[in-house]
Amino acid sequence: MPMTLWDRLLALARRKSPWVYVVNAGSCNGCDIEIAPCFSPRYDAEQLGVLRQGSPKHADILLITGPLTLRSRAAVSAIYEQMPSPKVVVAVGSCPATGNVFAGSPTVVGGVASVVPIDIYVPGCPPRPQAILEGIAQAAALLARR
Protein backbone atom coordinates (compact mmCIF):
# COMPACT_ATOMS: atom_id res chain seq x y z
CA MET A 1 0.00 0.00 0.00
CA PRO A 2 1.55 3.36 -1.00
CA MET A 3 2.10 6.00 1.62
CA THR A 4 -0.36 8.85 1.49
CA LEU A 5 0.58 12.46 2.09
CA TRP A 6 -0.82 12.18 5.61
CA ASP A 7 1.35 9.12 6.37
CA ARG A 8 4.45 10.92 5.11
CA LEU A 9 3.67 13.99 7.24
CA LEU A 10 3.22 11.80 10.34
CA ALA A 11 6.51 10.01 9.68
CA LEU A 12 8.30 13.34 9.28
CA ALA A 13 6.80 14.69 12.50
CA ARG A 14 7.77 11.55 14.41
CA ARG A 15 11.34 11.74 13.14
CA LYS A 16 11.79 15.49 13.62
CA SER A 17 9.95 15.96 16.91
CA PRO A 18 10.09 12.93 19.22
CA TRP A 19 8.72 13.28 22.72
CA VAL A 20 10.61 11.42 25.43
CA TYR A 21 9.52 10.04 28.80
CA VAL A 22 12.20 8.88 31.26
CA VAL A 23 11.68 6.04 33.77
CA ASN A 24 14.11 5.08 36.51
CA ALA A 25 13.47 1.38 37.14
CA GLY A 26 15.80 1.21 40.13
CA SER A 27 19.14 2.60 39.07
CA CYS A 28 21.92 4.24 41.07
CA ASN A 29 21.03 7.54 39.28
CA GLY A 30 24.27 7.55 37.30
CA CYS A 31 22.37 7.33 34.01
CA ASP A 32 19.82 9.89 35.16
CA ILE A 33 22.65 12.30 35.90
CA GLU A 34 23.89 11.79 32.33
CA ILE A 35 20.39 12.22 30.83
CA ALA A 36 19.94 15.63 32.47
CA PRO A 37 22.71 17.35 30.45
CA CYS A 38 21.16 16.05 27.23
CA PHE A 39 18.40 18.60 27.72
CA SER A 40 20.74 21.42 28.81
CA PRO A 41 22.14 24.10 26.48
CA ARG A 42 25.49 22.31 26.18
CA TYR A 43 24.13 19.20 24.41
CA ASP A 44 20.76 20.71 23.48
CA ALA A 45 18.50 17.80 22.58
CA GLU A 46 15.93 20.35 21.47
CA GLN A 47 17.99 21.04 18.34
CA LEU A 48 16.96 17.53 17.29
CA GLY A 49 13.35 18.41 18.12
CA VAL A 50 13.38 16.23 21.26
CA LEU A 51 10.99 17.29 23.99
CA ARG A 52 10.96 15.76 27.46
CA GLN A 53 7.41 14.92 28.49
CA GLY A 54 5.96 14.63 31.97
CA SER A 55 3.34 12.07 30.96
CA PRO A 56 3.78 8.74 29.16
CA LYS A 57 0.43 9.32 27.44
CA HIS A 58 2.06 12.00 25.27
CA ALA A 59 5.45 10.37 24.68
CA ASP A 60 6.80 8.55 21.65
CA ILE A 61 10.07 7.30 23.16
CA LEU A 62 10.53 5.65 26.54
CA LEU A 63 14.00 5.96 28.07
CA ILE A 64 14.54 3.35 30.79
CA THR A 65 17.43 3.45 33.26
CA GLY A 66 18.35 0.90 35.89
CA PRO A 67 17.71 -2.78 36.44
CA LEU A 68 14.18 -4.04 36.82
CA THR A 69 13.32 -4.43 40.50
CA LEU A 70 10.40 -6.17 42.15
CA ARG A 71 8.89 -2.79 43.05
CA SER A 72 9.29 -1.23 39.61
CA ARG A 73 8.15 -4.18 37.47
CA ALA A 74 4.45 -3.30 37.54
CA ALA A 75 5.12 0.44 37.15
CA VAL A 76 7.33 -0.02 34.07
CA SER A 77 4.73 -2.30 32.49
CA ALA A 78 1.92 0.18 33.23
CA ILE A 79 3.89 3.11 31.83
CA TYR A 80 4.64 1.18 28.66
CA GLU A 81 0.96 0.31 28.21
CA GLN A 82 -0.04 3.97 28.65
CA MET A 83 2.13 5.11 25.75
CA PRO A 84 0.33 5.46 22.41
CA SER A 85 1.50 3.44 19.42
CA PRO A 86 3.88 3.65 17.65
CA LYS A 87 6.41 3.73 20.46
CA VAL A 88 10.08 2.99 20.88
CA VAL A 89 11.89 1.87 24.04
CA VAL A 90 15.52 2.85 24.65
CA ALA A 91 17.51 1.10 27.40
CA VAL A 92 20.05 3.60 28.74
CA GLY A 93 23.11 2.02 30.34
CA SER A 94 24.09 -1.53 31.12
CA CYS A 95 21.54 -2.09 33.90
CA PRO A 96 18.36 -2.29 31.79
CA ALA A 97 20.04 -4.83 29.54
CA THR A 98 21.56 -7.22 32.08
CA GLY A 99 21.11 -5.91 35.61
CA ASN A 100 24.85 -5.09 35.60
CA VAL A 101 26.34 -4.95 39.14
CA PHE A 102 22.87 -5.36 40.67
CA ALA A 103 22.30 -8.77 39.03
CA GLY A 104 21.85 -11.50 41.59
CA SER A 105 20.36 -9.17 44.20
CA PRO A 106 17.19 -10.56 45.78
CA THR A 107 15.20 -7.47 44.79
CA VAL A 108 16.43 -7.28 41.19
CA VAL A 109 14.48 -9.22 38.58
CA GLY A 110 17.10 -8.57 35.88
CA GLY A 111 16.93 -6.78 32.57
CA VAL A 112 13.93 -4.72 31.50
CA ALA A 113 13.41 -6.84 28.38
CA SER A 114 11.52 -9.39 30.48
CA VAL A 115 8.66 -6.88 30.84
CA VAL A 116 8.80 -4.54 27.83
CA PRO A 117 10.42 -4.98 24.40
CA ILE A 118 13.65 -3.00 24.06
CA ASP A 119 14.30 -1.50 20.62
CA ILE A 120 17.62 0.28 21.19
CA TYR A 121 20.39 -0.27 23.72
CA VAL A 122 22.76 2.54 24.73
CA PRO A 123 25.78 0.82 26.33
CA GLY A 124 27.84 2.23 29.17
CA CYS A 125 27.88 2.61 32.90
CA PRO A 126 26.83 5.38 32.69
CA PRO A 127 26.75 6.26 28.99
CA ARG A 128 27.90 9.71 27.93
CA PRO A 129 25.29 12.30 26.92
CA GLN A 130 26.44 12.09 23.29
CA ALA A 131 25.68 8.35 23.26
CA ILE A 132 22.26 8.95 24.80
CA LEU A 133 21.47 11.57 22.15
CA GLU A 134 22.60 9.14 19.45
CA GLY A 135 20.25 6.53 20.91
CA ILE A 136 17.38 9.04 20.87
CA ALA A 137 18.18 9.93 17.25
CA GLN A 138 18.15 6.22 16.31
CA ALA A 139 14.84 5.82 18.13
CA ALA A 140 13.36 8.78 16.24
CA ALA A 141 14.47 7.26 12.93
CA LEU A 142 12.96 3.92 13.94
CA LEU A 143 9.77 5.67 15.02
CA ALA A 144 9.42 7.32 11.61
CA ARG A 145 9.44 3.89 9.90
CA ARG A 146 6.66 2.46 12.06
Q: Which helix (H) or strand (E) holds 43?
A: none
d(CA 133, CA 74) in angstroms, rounded, equals 27
d(CA 109, CA 58) in angstroms, rounded, equals 28
pTM of the full structure? 0.88
The pLDDT score that the predictor gives to residue 132 is 95
The pLDDT score that the predictor gives to residue 72 is 92
pLDDT score of 23 more than 80: yes
Cα distances (Å, whole numbers) of residue 74 to 15, 40, 62, 91, 139: 29, 31, 15, 17, 24
Residues paired with 21 in a beta bridge? 62
* Angle formed at CA 53 by CA 125 and CA 56, multiple of 5 degrees: 90
The pLDDT score that the predictor gives to residue 136 is 93
CATH topology of domain 16-145: Rossmann fold (3.40.50)
The residue ranges of every structural domain in the chain are 16-145
The pLDDT score that the predictor gives to residue 128 is 95
For residue 8, count CB atoms less than 10 angstroms from its CB and return exposed for 0-12, middle for 13-18, buried for 19 or more.
exposed
Could you read off the pLDDT of 29-69 as tens digits, one per residue?
899 999 999 988 898 888 888 989 999 999 999 999 999 99
